[in-house]
């Protein structure tokens, strides 16, 4: 039977009714002396019912405590859901910003070094061109184009890492579970412009080997290549399980 207000009221009325009927029956069927004797007989029963009443109060307290625990759990789940929704909103706002930055960067598809943005193309067209050249085994041409657009590629990598560092800090400061952090990272990295990863792959495949240090210029070139590799690996490792 469900415990609700209606059933409680009915139970109280039933107890009062039984109590009244028992009183009437005792009054009608027993004289004063017999009533006293009968009352003494029910003394032990009164103690029993008093104990049962106390037990009922304890049960009621335990039920209330259980309900409070459920309420606390629901409140905690609500807070976690609110926190997750807020973080997800931040992630997608940063994702929109990042994809906009990537889309705005253009690449030179020719060997001409003059900065004529009118001839530059989007990352999608540039990567598609590199893919076609790779299919035709025109590796020298790919290397020329990658070297020509090296600054733009690294610029996009640096922009991505700035946002990834921000996302990393947001996830850590909100005390999320490790599984939730990993899922959100994968969600974020999986929705970045899909052409950025093939572009980085072409870049890594055609990156000049790190030179041996001979003079100051060679040392600078070595440090620059090491820096670029480190920046790219930050992106590649972002969503990997630690």
CA–CA separation, 149 vs 151, rounded Å? 6
SS3 108: coil
Buried b (16+ CB within 10 A) or exposed e, 43-77: eeeeeeeeeeeeeeeeeeeeeeeeeeeeeeeeeee
Q: What is the pLDDT of residue 158?
A: 92
Q: What is the pLDDT of residue 90?
A: 86
Q: What is the pLDDT of residue 58?
A: 72
Most confident of 31-35, 46-50, 236-240: 236-240
Q: For residue 47, name the pLDDT band (cuts at 50, 70, 90).
A: low
* Residues of the chain above pLDDT 90, percent: 27
DSSP 154-165: HHHHHHHHHHHH
Q: Which residues are within 8 A (CB) of 98 and not within 5 positions of it... i.e. 6 or more apart?
A: 159, 160, 163, 192, 193
CA–CA separation, 124 vs 107, rounded Å? 10
CA–CA separation, 206 vs 200, rounded Å? 10
DSSP 119-151: G-B-HHHHHHHHHHHHHTT-HHHHHHHHHHTHH
Three-class DSSP labels, 4-71: CHHHHHHHHHHHHHHHHHHHHHHHHHCCHHHHHHHHHHCHHHHHHHHHHHHHHHHHHHHHHHHHHHHH
DSSP 205-219: HTPPPPPPP-SHHHH
Whether the per-residue pLDDT at 170 is higher than 90: the answer is: no
Mean predicted lDDT score pLDDT of the chain: 79
Whether the per-residue pLDDT at 117 is higher than 60: the answer is: no
């Amino acid at each position: 039977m469900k415990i609700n207000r209606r059933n409680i009221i009915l139970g109280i009325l039933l107890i009062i009714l039984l109590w009244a009927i028992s009183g009437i029956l005792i009054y009608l069927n027993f004289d004063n002396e017999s009533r006293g004797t009968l009352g003494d007989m029910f003394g032990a029963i009164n103690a029993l019912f008093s104990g049962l009443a106390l037990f009922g109060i304890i049960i009621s307290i335990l039920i209330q405590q259980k309900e409070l625990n459920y309420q606390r759990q629901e409140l905690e789940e609500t807070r976690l859901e609110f926190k997750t929704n807020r973080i997800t909103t931040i992630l997608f706002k940063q994702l929109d910003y990042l994809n906009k930055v990537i889309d705005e960067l253009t690449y030179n598809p020719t060997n001409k070094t003059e900065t004529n943005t009118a001839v530059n193309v989007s990352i999608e067209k540039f990567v598609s061109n590199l893919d076609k050249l790779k299919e035709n085994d025109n590796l020298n041409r790919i290397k020329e184009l990658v070297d020509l657009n090296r600054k733009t590629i690294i610029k996009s990598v640096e922009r991505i890492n700035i946002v990834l560092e921000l996302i990393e800090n947001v996830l850590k400061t909100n005390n999320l579970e490790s599984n939730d952090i990993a899922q959100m990272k994968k969600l974020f990295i999986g929705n970045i412009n899909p052409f950025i990863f093939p572009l980085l792959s072409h870049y890594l495949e055609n990156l000049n080997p790190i030179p041996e240090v001979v003079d100051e210029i060679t040392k600078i070139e070595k440090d620059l290549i090491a820096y670029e590799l480190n920046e790219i690996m930050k992106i590649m490792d972002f969503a990997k399980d630690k």
